[in-house]
């Protein structure tokens, strides 16, 4: 009976958060559309150039639907988005979904590359810092993590580019990827942007892992395990860590969300052909359909991963799953 109630409570919480996520995404879509619509200047004139005739500008505005009321244009755009149609690029006339397909895959690859390195590294360092808390290892790791948090990602990117590419020549400074590149070539060319992201997110996850484990170490059952002669490492790994999973999983999911949505600066620095680079180029070219699509996809991914973080935090924390 209790398992049925737990399952029902979990489903209710998931549906509630899913509804909040959908509503949040709707609000974001409205804000994105309004922000793009309120940009100064005439998009039609800027796309066609100063030498365009008034007749050509008028015809182009009619083609884009800029002569329609704002609310009608929004619902026309969002109706197309729900059907997978983001419109056509103003820069080259290609479907926006076609432009996004390859770029989204590149961004996901870079985020996955960084996550595969950052997550085990952060959890491992956090466990070791908790095991030897107050010692020299804990102090060094905390100093390094605070330093990594203090520096912006573009500064770390330029430092890595200077030392590992310009000075030592180990890795290419530009993360350009050819369409038929193999996995080894992709890993080599994207190493610098991946390590930049790793240094940025590892510190947050490591500090949360350490704090969560140290908090659990004060529990009575941990003292009982120590009195029974259980080794400190087994106490950390098999007694403290399982009961500290909720906040650790939450911060990991949130940092993975940042890896996907916060790569814009890193992609621009390393000229990586991902969603962030596409979005910046589209803003420069006033390619508004592409900008709207990129912003909406970033928001959807971030909301989805936040939802996943909430669900995992609830599923791994009995106190949240069985509130009194």
Q: Are 229 and 148 in contact (CB under 8 A)?
A: no
User: CA-based angle 187:192:195, to the nearest 5?
Assistant: 90
CATH of 95-321, one of 1.10.3720.10, 3.40.1360.10, 3.40.50.1000, 1.10.220.150: 1.10.3720.10
pLDDT higher than 80, residue 286 = no
> How far apart, in whole angstroms, are the C-alpha atoms of residue 23 and residue 17?
10
Query: Do residues 271 and 192 make contact, with C-beta atoms less than 8 angstroms apart?
Result: no
Asked if residue 67 lies in contact with residue 61, where contact means CB atoms within 8 angstroms, the answer is: yes
Per-position b or e across 85-97, b if 16+ CB within 10 A of its CB:
ebbbbbbeeeebe
Does the pLDDT at position 61 exceed 60? Answer: yes
Query: DSSP code of 133?
Result: T
User: Higher model confidence: residue 122 or residue 237?
Assistant: 122
Dist. CA 267–CA 289, nearest whole Å: 20
Beta bridge partners of 95: 88
Whole-angstrom Cα Rg for the chain: 24
Q: Across residues 141-155, what is the average pLDDT?
A: 81
More confident residue, 307 or 55: 307
Please write the tens of the pLDDT for every residue from 101-117.
878 888 888 888 999 99
Greatest CA span in the chain, whole angstroms? Answer: 87
List Cβ neighbours of 239 (8 Å cut-off, separation of 6 or more).
221, 222, 225, 230
pLDDT, tens digit, 9 for 90 and up, residues 221-279:
777 777 777 777 777 777 777 777 778 888 888 888 888 877 888 888 888 888 888 88
* Look-up of token digits 């973080």: 309
Q: How many DSSP H helices and E strands does the chain contain?
A: 17, 0
Q: Which residue has the tokens 């479907």?
A: 95
CB 188, CB 232: distance < 8 Å: no
Helix axes 136-150, 191-216, angle to 10 degrees: 130
Is a pLDDT exceeding 70 seen at residue 5? no
Q: What are phi and psi of 88, to 5 degrees?
A: -115, 150
What mean pLDDT is predicted for residues 53-65?
69
CB 164 within 8 A of CB 192: yes
- Cα–Cα distance measured from residue 282 to residue 122, given in angstroms and rounded to the nearest whole number: 35
The position carrying tokens 């906040």 is 247
Structure tokens at 173: 């400074």
Q: What are phi and psi of 43, to 5 degrees?
A: -60, -40
Look at residue 95 and give its three-state secondary structure. Answer: strand
Residue 158's pLDDT is what? 85
Report which of residues 292 and 150 the model is more confident about: 292
- Tell me how far CA of residue 139 lies from CA of 126, 136, 167, 200, 208, in angstroms: 12, 5, 30, 19, 15
pTM of this structure: 0.81
Per-residue pLDDT at 60: 65
CB within 8 Å of 217: residues ≥ 6 apart:
130, 235, 236, 240
Three-state secondary-structure class, residue 53: coil
């Amino acid at each position: 009976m209790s398992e049925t109630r737990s399952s029902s409570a979990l489903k209710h919480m998931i549906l509630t958060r899913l509804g909040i996520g959908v509503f949040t995404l709707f609000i974001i879509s409205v804000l994105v559309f309004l922000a793009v619509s309120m940009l100064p200047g005439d998009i039609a004139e800027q796309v066609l150039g100063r030498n365009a005739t008034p007749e050509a500008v008028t015809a182009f505005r009619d083609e884009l639907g800029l002569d329609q009321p704002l609310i009608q244009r929004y619902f026309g755009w969002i109706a197309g988005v729900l059907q997978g149609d983001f419109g056509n690029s103003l820069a080259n006339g290609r479907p926006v979904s076609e432009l996004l397909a390859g770029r989204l895959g590149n961004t996901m690859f870079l985020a996955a590359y960084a996550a595969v390195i950052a997550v085990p590294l952060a959890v491992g360092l956090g466990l070791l810092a908790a095991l030897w808390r107050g010692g020299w290892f804990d102090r060094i790791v905390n100093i390094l993590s605070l330093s990594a948090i203090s520096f912006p990602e573009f500064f770390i990117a330029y430092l890595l580019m200077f030392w590992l590419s310009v000075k030592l020549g180990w890795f290419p400074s530009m993360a350009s990827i050819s369409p038929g590149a193999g996995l080894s070539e992709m890993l080599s060319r994207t190493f610098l942007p991946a390590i930049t992201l790793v240094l940025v997110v590892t510190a947050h996850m490591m500090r949360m892992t350490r704090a969560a484990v140290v908090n659990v170490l004060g529990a009575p059952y941990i003292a009982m395990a120590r009195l029974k002669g259980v080794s400190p490492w087994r106490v950390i790994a098999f007694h403290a860590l399982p009961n500290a999973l909720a906040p650790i999983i939450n911060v990991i999911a949130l940092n993975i969300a940042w890896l996907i949505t916060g790569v814009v600066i890193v992609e621009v620095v390393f000229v990586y052909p991902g969603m962030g680079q596409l979005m910046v180029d589209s803003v420069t070219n006033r390619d508004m359909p592409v900008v709207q699509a990129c912003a909406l996809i970033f928001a959807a991914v971030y909301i989805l991963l936040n939802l996943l973080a909430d669900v995992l935090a609830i599923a791994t924390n009995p106190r949240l799953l069985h509130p009194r």
